[in-house]
Amino acid sequence: MSNKEKLIIFLLASVNFTHIIDFMIMMPLGPVLKEKFALTPHSFSIIISSYAIAAFVSSFSAATYVDRFDRKKVLLFGYSGFILATFACGIADSFVLLMAARIMAGFFGGLIGAQVMSMVADTFPMERRGQAMGIMMGAFGAASVLGVPMALKLAEYGWHTPFTVLSGLSLVVLLLALRFVPSMTKHITEKAKTANPFDVFTRIIADNNQRMALTMSFVLMFSHFSVISFMATYMHTNVGFSQEDMKFIYFFGGLASLVSGPIIGKMADKFGKFKVFSVFAAIAVIPVLIITNLGHTPLYLALILSSVFFIISGGRIIPSQALMSSVVKPEFRGGFMSVNSSLQQLSSGLAAYVSGMIVIETATGELINYNYIGYFAAALSLVCIWLGWKLVEKG
**How big is the CA angle at 245 (ends 241 and 246), to the nearest 5 degrees?**
80
pLDDT at 79: 95
Phi, psi (rounded to 5 degrees) for 24: -70, -35
pLDDT at 191: 54
Give the DSSP H or E segment for 360: strand 360-361
Distance (Å, rounded) from C-alpha 325 to C-alpha 210? 10
**How big is the CA angle at 303 (ends 301 and 304), to the nearest 5 degrees?**
65
pLDDT at 140: 62
Report the length, in residues, of the chain: 395
**Conformation bin of residue 38: beta by default, left when phi > 0, alpha when psi is -120 to 50:** left
**How big is the CA angle at 209 (ends 206 and 210), to the nearest 5 degrees?**
70
152: amino acid identity, one letter: L
Distance (Å, rounded) from C-alpha 250 to C-alpha 228? 11
Per-residue tens of pLDDT for the chain, all 395 residues:
677 878 888 888 888 888 888 877 776 677 777 777 777 777 777 887 788 788 888 888 877 777 788 889 989 999 999 999 999 988 887 888 888 999 999 899 888 877 887 788 778 877 777 777 777 766 666 666 677 777 777 877 888 888 999 999 999 999 999 999 888 887 676 555 556 667 778 888 888 888 888 999 999 999 988 998 788 888 988 998 887 787 788 788 878 877 888 888 888 888 888 899 999 999 999 999 999 999 899 999 999 999 999 889 888 888 887 787 778 777 777 778 778 878 887 888 788 888 888 998 888 888 899 999 999 999 999 999 999 888 775 55
Those residues whose C-beta lies under 8 Å from the C-beta of residue 285, and which sit 6 or more positions away, are: 378, 381, 382
Distance (Å, rounded) from C-alpha 348 to C-alpha 49? 7
Residue spans of alpha helices (H) in the chain: 3-24, 30-37, 41-62, 71-91, 95-123, 126-142, 148-154, 161-180, 190-194, 199-206, 208-228, 231-234, 246-271, 273-283, 285-291, 299-315, 317-325, 330-358, 370-394
pTM: 0.72
pLDDT at 219: 94
